[in-house]
Structure 1
């Protein structure tokens, strides 16, 4: 059953709720919690047996500026500085109204989750993620996206939010004036149940799991492994097209250049930021590893066989073992140990001289081009020589999450083709345009959860005004 838009109103005997929310990842759960804090009833419709979504597959790191956690750590930051970092990474192409809105809202959202609802956050220490000028990545103590979702689900249900699982929304109902009147959702046995609502928040998905949409909108990633959630089927875009909504930044996405194969596990980019390098099958470095893990996906896929090796040494391994996802990958056999340069060369299948040279390279050769922009580009030198024993993980580039979708205003209202907002349709997170511009290189670390958490809070505040008007 494909996503559909139906004209009219659900059956009169269908249950009614002030706000319906499609999707119970970070975006939907934060929206529900914000609504319940304001005394507004809501229902989350989640396709899986338990809330997960793209958030559960992520590292769960949320960038935020000016939080109480930063202040306690003595970190000077501000929404303006955060916004500047976002735009610097996107070369000024990110939607300015959303950059301003999200960077201003995210700090208070995390402070509320901690102070009011007891979710403990810590600011990641020891290194900077690419593009961030200060330490602003916040994580729950477990440092996983699954733990973040579990915490959000716990506090949202404690606050009175209702979550209906195994409920895949298939239909949006809209009256002739263009107002959303309800939804229809499919149950595991194939039945479609209906729900009437006064406002609808689409917090559901991107389109990375829809091969046809990827082929149409992201042809450069058509052959890439998709490492995101299968629920990213493009439903929001399908509904938007049927409704005449405007779409934006469909060429933006989060890739990752460090997906362990064949284990299928994410390797933290902290390995690169602390001095690790990526070598191709010839034993050559081929890009500036400190530019960002998203565009690294394209660089890695451009190498022979579409693979690379993450190479690092003991001190970096000690850091990496502080990340549960890395530990899981190591337990699965992803990590290889090489006593010296000849052993590493034998593992990769390249000349030993290439391994010896990896510590000396600081610029791209004249005959090597940046695989995204097609120009000669500087490459970061190793801040200190990597010392044996060496550690290596075979990786490929993967598509994680799309960053384009329904165009929204600063209040997360979905916009029609003429730029006017729908009366009661909102979107945030994967369903909506984000703050990464229209290309892979615009993705600043954490932009996905920034849009989900800040966007969920803003959408809920807007929905509150709609149902209380």
Structure 2
């Protein structure tokens, strides 16, 4: 497929015979959630996906979605509230997350998950055997596969059953707008290099962020310029490029999801649940260097700051058995990511550090609060030990087009563009303005809640236009 820069073209010159009510750009969790909601409302839509099959950033994620007050929580006897969830989001972001989006997403994510279960058969279950950093209640939802790929497979199957039109290998490169920035159609490149065009009444951008656009990362996230990018290559910043041409406002561009546990050389994500349940990260000097329970996103920066930009996840048999409940971990283990050490001496040799330094580090892991990092340990680690070599990675960005609580893209003066919507990684998220603001699951929260909200707004735009 030929590479073309995203551009905005004059609507008066648009030539296209085919038309749909809503065009959705991107068939990840955000786009498919919106398409399914539009289907339930009787609204015609076409989803345009650049890849050969729907996957996107969702398929690369753990697939865990935080939500309060769901049927799944109630079934498992878990008490939660929108207010508690919103407070957790804002606390992690140090009060810097956009209040209108925090409230909107906290309110709508539960109904969005319940609708996917009730109408499309997605069987949610809540992970209740550990707590991700920043969450005060068990609210992380997953499908039975416990993977992002499993979640995408189920969303795609639901879209197929509903008859949602998803055109793959269709990379959107054009938005056709008039003088009031109303979008009248889109253009997309097909595998043979030909550009096809489609008229529409509204457009929703669900094409994620700019993590795969090296120049934008260098410009907007210089601290991650040299980091491994573990996200989807299709996150090319198209939404921002279109937004800049349309005079849209951008927000929270310094926010992103990093991860401090990207296995080397396997290139696999290692669940942070290991750290939350007692695992530690040790550098080439045999020392711990941060409180691992603060969050995996900011851990990316911590790990990259160590010698060689690497660290070792260290854990014991109890934690190994716990981690093997996660399919992604089992895959990484089968790929050779997990190495073993009978005792501290063998572990020191594996890491390449002095035994004295490592032994002092291991001795300090006791049921108490570590004075150096402030981490509280529930128990010590017992030999034999297991270790995974990791680095810090950039997963996806959390800043983008500024939107209101209805997912409408805003101009620089704060007024909404007539019929352009954005959600998920294409828009600003609820992670504040820096890496430490990312609460576990914020990416899929904004994708699914945002897609759900955008569909409601699109339907209202169509009703208003018909009056």
Q: Which residue of 2 aligns with 1:437?
A: 432
Output aligned runs, 1:95-110, within 5 Å.
95-110=98-113
C-alpha contact 1:412 1:455 (8 A) present in aligned 2: yes
Query: What is the CA distance between 1:9 and its match in structure 2?
Result: 4.4
> The residue matched to 1:199 in structure 2 has which SS?
strand
Matched, 1:84 2:87: yes
Query: What is the CA distance between 1:175 and its match in structure 2?
Result: 1.0
Q: Which residue of 2 aligns with 1:423?
A: 418
Q: Which residue of 2 aligns with 1:282?
A: 285
> The residue matched to 2:5 in structure 1 has which SS?
coil
Q: Which residue of 1 aligns with 2:233?
A: 230
> The residue matched to 1:290 in structure 2 has which SS?
helix
Query: What is the CA distance between 1:10 and its match in structure 2?
Result: 6.1
Q: Which residue of 2 aligns with 1:257?
A: 260
Runs of 4+ in 1 over 3 A off after TM superposition: 9-13, 361-365
Query: What is the CA distance between 1:134 and its match in structure 2?
Result: 0.7
Moved more, 91-100 or 350-359: 350-359
Q: Deviations over 1:276-321 (max 9, x none)?
A: 0000000100000000000000000000000000000011111111
Aligned mate of 2:353, from 346, 350, 354: 350
Aligned mate of 1:389, from 384, 393, 396: 384
Aligned mate of 2:452, from 450, 457, 463: 457
Output aligned runs, 1:247-396, within 5 Å.
247-359=250-362, 360=364, 362-363=369-370, 365=372, 378-396=373-391
> The residue matched to 1:116 in structure 2 has which SS?
helix
Once residues 16 and 332 of structure 2 are traced to their aligned partners in structure 1, the CA distance between those partners, rounded to angstroms, is: 50
Once residues 14 and 221 of structure 2 are traced to their aligned partners in structure 1, the CA distance between those partners, rounded to angstroms, is: 39
Moved more, 18-27 or 177-186: 177-186
Once residues 202 and 17 of structure 2 are traced to their aligned partners in structure 1, the CA distance between those partners, rounded to angstroms, is: 15
Matched, 1:71 2:65: no
TM-score, reference length from structure 1: 0.96
Q: Which residue of 1 aligns with 2:159?
A: 156
Once residues 326 and 280 of structure 1 are traced to their aligned partners in structure 2, the CA distance between those partners, rounded to angstroms, is: 21
> The residue matched to 1:18 in structure 2 has which SS?
strand
> The residue matched to 1:153 in structure 2 has which SS?
helix
5+ long unaligned stretches in structure 2? none
Once residues 260 and 14 of structure 1 are traced to their aligned partners in structure 2, the CA distance between those partners, rounded to angstroms, is: 49
Once residues 141 and 356 of structure 1 are traced to their aligned partners in structure 2, the CA distance between those partners, rounded to angstroms, is: 40
Aligned mate of 1:447, from 430, 437, 442: 442
C-alpha contact 1:10 1:182 (8 A) present in aligned 2: no
Once residues 9 and 438 of structure 1 are traced to their aligned partners in structure 2, the CA distance between those partners, rounded to angstroms, is: 39
Q: Which residue of 1 aligns with 2:249?
A: 246
Once residues 15 and 428 of structure 1 are traced to their aligned partners in structure 2, the CA distance between those partners, rounded to angstroms, is: 25
> The residue matched to 1:60 in structure 2 has which SS?
coil
Query: What is the CA distance between 1:160 and its match in structure 2?
Result: 2.3
> The residue matched to 2:17 in structure 1 has which SS?
coil
C-alpha contact 1:9 1:181 (8 A) present in aligned 2: no
> The residue matched to 1:419 in structure 2 has which SS?
coil
Q: Which residue of 2 aligns with 1:22?
A: 25
Once residues 262 and 382 of structure 1 are traced to their aligned partners in structure 2, the CA distance between those partners, rounded to angstroms, is: 29
Q: Which residue of 1 aligns with 2:146?
A: 143
Query: What is the CA distance between 1:468 and its match in structure 2?
Result: 2.2
C-alpha contact 2:260 2:299 (8 A) present in aligned 1: yes
Query: What is the CA distance between 1:356 and its match in structure 2?
Result: 2.1
Output aligned runs, 1:115-130, within 5 Å.
115-130=118-133
C-alpha contact 2:260 2:391 (8 A) present in aligned 1: yes
Output aligned runs, 1:163-242, within 5 Å.
163-242=166-245
Once residues 146 and 196 of structure 1 are traced to their aligned partners in structure 2, the CA distance between those partners, rounded to angstroms, is: 32
Query: What is the CA distance between 1:270 and its match in structure 2?
Result: 0.4
C-alpha contact 2:348 2:354 (8 A) present in aligned 1: yes
Q: Which residue of 2 aligns with 1:54?
A: 57
Query: What is the CA distance between 1:442 and its match in structure 2?
Result: 0.1
TM-score, reference length from structure 2: 0.96
Once residues 117 and 197 of structure 1 are traced to their aligned partners in structure 2, the CA distance between those partners, rounded to angstroms, is: 26
